Amino acid sequence: MPANVTTRILLRSKRLNIYLVRYAQGHKVVPHVDMIAQGRLYKLNCVLKKPKAGGEFVCEKNVFNLFGRVILFRPDLYQHRVSRIERGNRWLLSFALTAR
């Protein structure tokens, strides 16, 4: 049985990380807030492929959200989650920037 989440690190530095993530059918992300040691965390998520059913991203507050495809938010301040993926896979290109 394949893993529910596959993450490939495309870039890792002190302030910027870039990931390519595949969320498989049946996976969900429970409500949470991302903890960081210091600074402010910003995430820009680009949904490359939406699942056929489910897998909707929900956040208490976004900086912006363009058609559910390009989302900028503060995961260190606002609770966010992804509903269960009912059918298909969700592919995401995620940029995480830590600002001081």
44 contacts 77 by C-beta, under 8 angstroms: no
Give me the CATH code for the 5-99 domain, please: 2.60.120.10
How many separate helices (H) and strands (E) can be counted in the chain?
0, 11
Tens digit of each residue's pLDDT, the chain (100 residues): 456 899 999 999 999 999 999 999 999 999 999 999 899 999 999 999 999 999 999 999 999 999 999 999 999 999 999 999 999 999 999 999 999 8
- The pTM for the full model equals 0.89
Bridge partner list, 44 = 72, 95
Rounded (10°) CA dihedral 3, 45, 92, 99: -60
- 52: amino acid identity, one letter: K
Residues 31 and 83: their CA atoms lie apart, in Å, by 9
Residues 95 and 21: their CA atoms lie apart, in Å, by 11
Residue spans of the domains in the chain: they are 5-99
